[in-house]
Amino acid sequence: MLTRTLLSLAAISLAAAPLMSQGPSTLYDLKTQTLVGQPADLSAYRGKVTLVVNTASECGYTPQYEGLEKLHRELSPKGFSVLGFPSNDFGGQEPGSGEQIAEFCRKNYGVTFPMFSKLSTRPGPNQSPIYALLGTSGNLPAWNFAKYVIGKDGKVVAFFPSAVTPESAELRGAIAKALAR
C-alpha cells in the first residue's frame, strides 16, 4: 500500500513538473537590462505598484513622457514607479541606441523613472520574456505607449491602450486601487 501511494505521489510530481518549469509567474520574477546595458532585476519592485509602458521617441504619443514623469514623481513616495521599455515594433519609431534614447528622454522630458533596454513586444521568437508574460493577461500593445498597471504582487491588474493618457481618471483610478491593496 505504501509503495503504491509513493508511486502515485511520484506520478503527480512528474505531471506537475512541466507546470512548474514554465517560467516566471510575475513581472517581478524577471531580469532585464537598463537602457545603458546594466543588469536589472525587476524583483526590486516587488511590493510596489508599477506602470509598465512600451515607449518610443518618434511617436505621436511621445509627449506622454511628460505625464508619465509627473505621475512617477507624484506617486513614487507612495510605493509606485513608472517603468519604461522602449520598443521599435510600431512604425520604426524608436530607432536610437540606448544612450540616444536616454539622452532624448532626459533632455526633452526630464525623465527620471527607470528605463530599460529596447525590446520587442510582439509575439514570436524575438518577443521579450517581459511582454510574453504581460501578454498572458490577454492584452499586448497595438501601438507605442500601451500601459499595464502591475500590482504589488507583480501581476497585471489593468491594461490601457496608447490613447489613454497618464492624466486620465481611468488610469489614475486603477493605480490608486492597486496602491490601496
Which residues are marked as active site? Answer: 59
Residues whose CB falls within 8 Å of the CB of residue 38, separated by 6 or more in sequence, listed in order: none
- Rounded Cα distance, 125 and 11, in Å: 32
151 contacts 47 by C-beta, under 8 angstroms = no
Label each residue of 128-172 as H, E or C.
CHHHHHHHCCCCCCCCCCCEEEECCCCCEEEEECCCCCCCCHHHH
